[in-house]
Amino acid sequence: MRKIKNIAWVNWDSICLPKEDGGLRVRRLEEFNLSLLGKWCWRMLVDRDVLWYRILNARYSEEDGRLKEGACRSSLWWRTVSDVRGGVGMGVGSW
């Protein structure tokens, strides 16, 4: 008969520590994802003449100098970027 091992639960905070401090150096995915989406928001403000912006503009169009918010027929990525741009998940204000 095979012995079943118990799961060793580890605190997420300790997993995210640097290896030098005994952690596994795993990124905090939610914060990392928010920062990458924030980078897209910033690039939409400053890189308006690049191809990817023109594609988004053709797909969603502009309103008051900004790309329109994601609608129900938008991609999940665009709706999430729109949420971040509006301040969802950041705790303060909007872009």
What span, in angstroms and rounded, lies between the C-alpha atoms of 65 and 49?
A: 13
40 domain-assigned = yes
Q: Is residue 53 part of a domain?
A: yes
Confirm whether 57 is domain-assigned.
yes
Is residue 71 one of the residues assigned to a domain?
yes
In a domain, 93, yes or no: no
State CA 42 to chain mean position distance: 13
Residue 6 lies in a domain: no
**pLDDT value of position 50:** 92
| Residue found by looking up tokens 């690039």 in the block | 43
Helix axes 29-46, 51-60, angle to 10 degrees: 90
Confidence of residue 89 (pLDDT cuts 50, 70, 90): low
Flag whether pLDDT at 90 surpasses 60. Answer: no
What pLDDT does 29 receive? 78
Number of domains in the chain: 1
Distance from C-alpha of 38 to C-alpha of 7, rounded to nearest angstrom: 36
Q: Residue 16: inside a domain, yes or no?
A: no
Contact (Cβ atoms closer than 8 angstroms) between residue 58 and residue 65 = no
Candidate from 17-21, 51-55, 84-88 with smallest mean pLDDT: 84-88
- Asked if residue 37 belongs to a domain, the reply is yes
CA–CA dist 6, 19 (Å, integer): 25
> What is the model's pLDDT at position 93?
53
The domain of 50 spans 28-85
Task: Please write the tens of the pLDDT for every residue from 26-85.
Answer: 777 777 888 888 888 888 889 889 998 898 888 888 887 777 876 667 888 888 888 877
Q: What length is written for the chain?
A: 95
